[in-house]
């Protein structure tokens, strides 16, 4: 690990001011992703601002009938929250499908959204990676790419976003609340938080330098049957090959988001009108313009069959 | 070492002690040379004084911010029960209990754990006064080489508390009811602890026995 200085922030204003003014500074919360990447020197912050003491760990009802989730709410607490279990079950299910019991006790809501890809070439510092080292090349294109993205890819990067939780958040139309270095606040729809790789895969989200997520809000519940189906190489504790998050209403309409296929949680609202027509039509819309490799072409059919299974389960 | 010592622990301790002395000397020199903080090019960060509460005792330590909780426990407090397996949060051998919750101590920094109550395998029981989970692991032969065992036991103890608190898991059928104390629940919930020897079925038996005693 590269050397860094560490301090605990005592206020939001102090935290964002310091991270934006000290070159190479970063926030740290749960640390499960950042500490891991620091050991590999993929992340090399010069200064860590620990935001653990800022009171961002509450879950509260919002005025519009939704839920406001503090940025530091642990994944395990969010999954176990009674409101989430009852009204946003797909979010509980997605969280519980991710990581291990130990990691869910450490990892936070905002940290989960901002976790970095698990592309093995991003982790292997001996290999070129445009995300880790801009303009060095992409080893996954033409390399071992079974785990990689099939939609929204570019010639620079075919990495996926690894989060399960983020897929459910996207499905639920979550909004991210932030505070910027100048102290002002803003809200970002989750659809606009994560970026596609394009020519700058090292830029993964639309937050400014030093901007801090303070909460994630969910709109009021939409009812329906909530399902999160994760397909992976092990029955537990593995990243998704693909995953399907769905809310299906009694009349057969609903919404779908797909994980493990893109650089961001993947949802195509325009395709959802085809849900009553079944998995084939729905998948054709969701994965239109898919660009697969020899290794990951199977994901297209896997998504279709998983959606078919999810729609069947919703009917049952 | 001139004489062969078959004790692995003694060998490791001796080696670690000499390595530790070299590192300590280096840190002191660099710290003197670089007493002013230079955030842009930190070569040796300011050491930080922290109060760690471990197994009911308080320890005042000066630590490099880079030191993980696991390294602090093992190398500074000589609590070598917690093991370093992968050091990447994938194996669970370093599992400890912080404020009643199991975490992997390799993916948190010691400086982040000030003010928290840390329990390691050494705090769960002693050779003469075993924790029920420790006794059950022995009775059911829930290990072979033993390397993952402290993590397995800490994880299992905290895992049962999670079930009792009603926290759901991936295999819980109905999210709106309390999870059940079943083998399928335990298997899913223990997936963060890898056993290279494959003692899983005996670990399951040990956990089931403890549940039988408690329920």
Query: How far is A308 from A17, CA to CA, in rounded Å?
Result: 49
Closest chain A CA to residue B27: A3
pLDDT at B7: 53
**Bridge partner list, A129:** A138
Chain B within 8 Å of A24 (Cβ-Cβ)?
A: yes
Q: What three-state secondary structure class fits A209?
A: coil
Query: ∠ at Cα A226 (A101, A223), nearest 5°?
Result: 130
Instruction: Give the whole-angstrom CA distance, residue A63 versus residue A68.
Output: 10
Q: Which residues of B touch A96 (CB under 8 A)?
A: 168-170, 172
pLDDT for B40: 55
- Rounded-to-integer distance, Cα B214 and Cα B208, Å: 10
Q: For residues A226 and A88, give the distance between their C-alpha atoms in angstroms, rounded to a whole number.
A: 7
Q: How confident is the model at residue B209 (pLDDT cuts 50, 70, 90)?
A: very high
DSSP code at position B123? H
Of B39, B101, B167, nearest to A22 by CB-CB distance is: B39
Nearest residue of B to residue A22, measured between CA atoms:
B39
Q: How many CB atoms lie within 10 A of CB A260?
A: 27
Confidence label for B213 from pLDDT (cuts 50, 70 and 90)? low
Sheet with A25-28, edge to edge strand ranges: A5-8, A47-50, A25-28
Which chain B residues are Cβ-neighbours of A23 within 8 angstroms?
39-40
CB contact under 8 A, A101 and B37: no
pLDDT at B45: 77
Residue B11 confidence (pLDDT): 45
Nearest CB to A35 within list B42, B108, B155: B108
pLDDT exceeds 70 at position B123? yes
Digitized pLDDT (tens) for each residue of chain A, 316 residues in all: 999 999 999 999 999 999 999 999 999 999 999 999 999 999 999 999 999 999 999 999 999 999 999 999 999 999 999 999 999 999 999 999 999 999 999 999 999 999 999 999 999 999 999 999 999 999 999 999 999 999 999 999 999 999 999 999 999 999 999 999 999 999 999 999 999 999 999 999 999 999 999 999 999 999 999 999 999 999 999 999 999 999 999 999 999 999 999 999 999 999 999 999 999 999 999 999 999 999 999 999 999 999 999 999 999 8
For B61-97, give the DSSP string. Answer: EEE-TT-BHHHIIIIIS--TTS--SSSSSSS-TTEEE
**A101 contact residues in B (CB cutoff 8 A):** 102, 155, 158-159, 162, 169, 189-192
Contact B102 A102 (CB under 8 A): yes
Q: What is the structure's pLDDT at B29?
A: 44
Q: How confident is the model at residue B28 (pLDDT cuts 50, 70, 90)?
A: very low
Give pLDDT, residue B42. Answer: 64
Token pair of B34 as six digits: 């670089």
A94/chain B closest Cα distance in angstroms: 9
Strands A242-248 and B95-98: unpaired
The answer on pLDDT for B27 being more than 70 is no
pLDDT tens-digit series, residues B141-197 = 999 999 999 999 999 999 999 999 999 999 999 999 999 999 999 999 999 999 999
Cβ neighbours of residue B29 under 8 Å, at least 6 residues apart?
none
Contact A100 B48 (CB under 8 A): no
CA atoms within 13 A on the CB side of A220: 3
Measured between CB atoms, does A31 come within 8 Å of chain B?
yes
Interface with B, mutate which of A78, A82, A101 (most B CBs under 10 A): A101
Asked if A6's CB is within 8 angstroms of B107's CB, the reply is: no
User: Burial, B68: exposed, middle or buried (Cβ in 10 Å; 0-12, 13-18, 19+)?
Assistant: buried
C-alpha to C-alpha distance for A111 and B127, rounded to whole angstroms: 40
Decide if pLDDT at B21 tops 80: no
| Residue A36 contacts B where some CB pair is shorter than 8 Å | yes
Reported pTM: 0.92
**Residue A10 touches partner B, C-beta closer than 8 Å:** no
């Amino acid at each position: 690990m590269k050397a860094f200085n560490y301090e605990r922030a005592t206020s939001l204003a102090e935290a964002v001011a310091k991270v934006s003014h000290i070159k190479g500074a970063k926030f740290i919360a749960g640390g499960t992703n950042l500490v891991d990447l620091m050991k590999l020197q993929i992340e090399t912050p010069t200064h860590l601002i620990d935001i653990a003491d800022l009171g961002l760990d509450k879950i509260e009802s919002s005025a519009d009938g939704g839920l406001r989730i503090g940025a530091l709410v642990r994944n395990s607490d969010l999954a176990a929250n009674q409101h989430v279990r009852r009204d946003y079950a797909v979010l509980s299910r997605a969280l519980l499908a991710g990581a291990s019991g130990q990691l869910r006790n450490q990892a936070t809501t905002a940290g989960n959204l901002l976790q970095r890809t698990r592309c093995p070439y991003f982790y292997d510092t001996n290999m070129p990676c445009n995300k880790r080292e801009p303009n060095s090349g992409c080893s996954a294109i033409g390399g071992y790419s079974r785990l990689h993205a099939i939609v929204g890819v570019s010639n620079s990067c075919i990495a996926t976003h690894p989060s399960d939780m983020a897929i459910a958040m996207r499905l639920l139309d979550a909004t991210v609340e932030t505070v910027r270095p100048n102290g002002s606040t803003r809200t970002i729809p989750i659809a606009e938080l994560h970026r596609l790789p394009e020519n700058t895969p090292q830029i993964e989200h639309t937050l400014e330098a030093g901007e801090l997520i303070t909460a994630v809000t969910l709109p009021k519940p939409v009812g329906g049957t909530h399902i999160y189906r994760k397909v992976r190489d092990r029955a537990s504790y593995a990243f998704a090959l693909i995953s399907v998050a769905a809310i299906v209403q009694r009349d057969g309409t609903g919404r779908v988001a797909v994980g493990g296929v893109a650089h961001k949680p993947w949802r195509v609202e325009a395709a959802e009108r085809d849900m009553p027509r079944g998995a084939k039509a729905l998948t054709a819309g969701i994965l239109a313009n898919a660009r697969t490799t020899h290794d990951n072409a199977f994901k297209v059919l896997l998504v279709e069959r998983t959606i078919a299974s999810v729609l069947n389960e919703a009917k049952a | 070492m001139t004489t062969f010592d078959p004790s692995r622990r003694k060998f490791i301790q001796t080696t670690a002690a000499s390595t530790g002395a070299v590192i300590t000397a280096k840190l002191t020199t660099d710290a003197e040379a670089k007493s002013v903080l230079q955030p842009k090019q930190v070569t040796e960060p300011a050491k930080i004084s922290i109060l760690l509460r471990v197994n009911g005792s308080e320890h005042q330590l000066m630590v490099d911010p880079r030191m993980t909780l696991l390294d602090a426990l093992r190398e500074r407090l000589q609590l070598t029960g917690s093991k370093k397996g992968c050091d990447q949060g994938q194996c669970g051998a370093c599992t400890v209990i912080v404020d009643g919750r199991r975490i992997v101590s390799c993916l948190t920094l010691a400086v982040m754990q000030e003010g928290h109550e840390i329990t390691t395998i050494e705090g769960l029981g002693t050779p003469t006064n075993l924790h029920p989970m420790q006794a059950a692991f022995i009775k059911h032969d829930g290990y072979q080489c033993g390397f993952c065992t402290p993590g397995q036991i800490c994880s299992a103890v905290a895992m049962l508390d999670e079930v009792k608190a009603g926290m759901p898991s991936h295999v819980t059928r109905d999210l709106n009811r309390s999870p059940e104390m079943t083998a399928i629940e335990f298997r899913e919930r223990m997936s963060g602890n890898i056993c290279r020897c494959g003692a899983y079925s005996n670990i399951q038996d040990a956990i089931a026995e403890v549940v039988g005693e408690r329920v």
